[in-house]
Chains A and B, each alone.
Chain A
């Protein structure tokens, strides 16, 4: 216990910026839970689940430099696996009539089921993504997109597990704000530790110059693979929480729209940093909810002679274009937020791996 506390103390001392990220979010969660009401509570839960998906993308994309479109597919795997594990046999008889008999009586508690969902997503990722990790740039992006399509088609046609393209229903709404917030914070720490671990550091080195990283003995493909597995676990976990939040969904929920939301959040914030992932999620969520409110207000008060529809989506797209133009690396580009020159690992800790421009 003592050594654990010491370890935590060292982590805190060395990574003050991590606290700067976590504390406001934790306060927001606690305040919302205490005085927020149902609506704000739901927005907060959705925020934390999106945050997990964005963090999972950050762990892979941010460190390896390869954009992935596949992660929402792994979210879908986690959602379906955890749903099958938590539903009662009666609910399964209605919702998944063709389910394998061996799985019908299985009813697990919520968090273990979600953890297994994440593990299955990680195992699938481990099995299928190794070859993709050899690719780079456009080929890599397209192959992850292809993977998303494959997962989508399998989810929509594996009747014995997902009930095919039909809606899955009958899940219990287990996901509450404390659970979502707690795991959101845990995954911020995981992403942070991963980024600063030797794996993260070597991956970031490979991102800046793959040949240089290879010459100093970095096994780039294997490290990317590890990053993908870790991130697929988090995406699958987020899917499990999401499934028990909306309680009714079909495979189409884990496809292009959710993918673009997550990618937008990451790109706006800055894929290379954990702070970027967090702040991108905060800003896009806040802007989306704010714009949505304004749009509703304009329509309800009839401020304009016509109905305003889709302003939210258009302005969000404009924000994306502006960020990509002004700051292609995202808002928090290279170094974690508030990292002064005396940062945790010396003056240039976060850009240690960065090659000269």
Chain B
């Protein structure tokens, strides 16, 4: 019995000692700031995920948010108070994300930044809503991320996928003059399936004709059956909307091009992938996609200023465009708190509804809580041209399909 007892005792002691350390999370600030912000600084809480499957989307956002806070503090902070950003790792677990939000709120956070995904982000928003605080996801693009589901103080920075589909449709029809479309939908995940639906709805709404919708399943690595159906069409469409993602997306486009199909191909933000651009390097220029932001100086003066700040801080350009989501999120909160002249959740939420924001991810105007805080947001149109990408401009669709 000696050996098991010893191991058990050692592990048990370890566990208890570790757990006992859990008392004070936010250093030097045991006095919680009241919701009105009577403390000497403003704490913005974040439950972004730094480990697990969600980390690639959240971790860059956190870096952008931290830089935004540093810059705000150089300029005097929010409402004359210094800002502190406190992030607790959400570990790609919805329960921990929610627990973090509770802990942050108990420690005086006046707003909560939630992960870039509905499943992982909504627990943080729900806790923020319960505490009467604003919660905002850095880039959850699901139309489920709305104030009807989560509460009247909850927002997402991202355009919904409805906007993405509509932007692709209206840009094709109105700017490019493509009147007929053929849709290929990867049915493996919801994102690609619903994006096709929004595209078809918007394209028809604009006055275009959709010849047909064909399906594909991620992982099949064989596009020949779909290709035959395309080749059997009486007339070729003006544009193909291919809603899929890497790695199979590259295969699909290569198969189509090698079969002599030259019509332009359009897609959503899953095309915003350096690997895809490389894959298509020898295949001409007729591939377009809609995405969230364009991290290069030609996107506008604000982006240029951001890139300069980033360069000064890190000595290199951002490695991923997701960093701008965190920067935008913090700046939205700062502007809204300044407008409201308060950190009170209801007042900040009202200011967020009232203001129109000019962001690195485009102009953004949320609808009111009754209509779901639908983000009316500019999108970026990008063209893939022989191994590189070209910024075609910001585009704001007129019509938004129902989620």
Binding site for B on A (CB under 8 A): 37-39, 42-43, 46, 164-167, 169-170, 245-250, 252-253, 257, 279, 282-283, 286-287, 289-297, 299-301, 307, 309-310, 312-313, 319, 323, 326-327, 331-333
Contact = CB atoms under 8 A, between A and B. Distances in A.
The 7 A-B residue pairs with the shortest CB-CB distance in the complex, in nearest-first order: A290-B18, A293-B22, A290-B19, A286-B15, A166-B190, A287-B15, A301-B27
B49 to A, nearest CB: 10
B259 interface: no
B323 interface: no
A257 B52 contact: yes
Contact of B21 (A38, A252, A279, A290): A290
A36 to B, nearest CB: 12
Contacts of B300: none
B11 A283 contact: yes
B27 A248 contact: no
A252 B19 CA distance: 29
Nearest to A289: B19
Nearest to B27: A301
Contacts of A38: 102, 106
Given A165-B189, A248-B123, A331-B4, A294 B50 contact: no
A290 B27 CA distance: 17
B102 to A, nearest CB: 5
A331 B118 contact: no
B4 A327 contact: yes
Interface in B26-55: 26-27, 50-52
Contacts of A290: 15-22
A292 to B, nearest CB: 7
29 contacts: A39-B102, A39-B106, A42-B98, A43-B99, A164-B193, A167-B144, A246-B95, A248-B123, A252-B119, A257-B93, A282-B15, A283-B11, A283-B12, A283-B15, A286-B19, A287-B19, A289-B22, A290-B17, A290-B19, A290-B20, A293-B19, A295-B89, A300-B26, A300-B86, A310-B51, A312-B91, A313-B51, A319-B11, A331-B11
A44 B18 CA distance: 17
B4 to A, nearest CB: 6
Given A289-B22, A300-B25, A301-B27, A167 B142 contact: yes
Nearest to B88: A296
Main secondary structure of the interface of A (DSSP, over half): helix
A43 to B, nearest CB: 7
A150 to B, nearest CB: 16
B245 to A, nearest CB: 13
B94 interface: yes
A253 B190 contact: no
A297 B21 contact: yes
Contacts of A327: 3-4, 7
B22 A164 contact: no
A294 B106 contact: no
Contacts of A283: 11-12, 15
B243 to A, nearest CB: 14
B21 A250 contact: no
A319 B19 CA distance: 16
Interface in B116-161: 118-119, 122-123, 126, 142, 144, 149
A109 B17 CA distance: 41
B89 A309 contact: yes
A164 to B, nearest CB: 6
Given A167-B119, A248-B122, A249-B94, A42 B22 contact: no
Given A170-B149, A248-B119, A293-B22, A286 B91 contact: no
A165 B118 CA distance: 12
Contacts of B25: 293, 296-297, 300
B18 A46 contact: no
Contacts of B7: 323, 326-327, 331
A94 to B, nearest CB: 8
B20 to A, nearest CB: 7
A260 B25 CA distance: 28
A291 B51 contact: no
Interface string B84-118: 00111101111110110011001000000000001
Contacts of A312: 51, 91
A166 B403 CA distance: 13
A86 B87 CA distance: 35
A90 B52 CA distance: 34
A293 B102 contact: no
A331 B8 contact: yes
Contacts of A165: 188-190
A294 B144 CA distance: 34
Contacts of B17: 290
B89 A294 contact: no
Contacts of A170: 149
Contacts of A299: 87, 89
B14 interface: yes
Contact of A333 (B4, B89, B102, B118): B4
Nearest to A295: B89
Nearest to A303: B27
B14 A287 contact: yes
A286 B94 contact: no
Contacts of A307: 50
Nearest to B50: A309
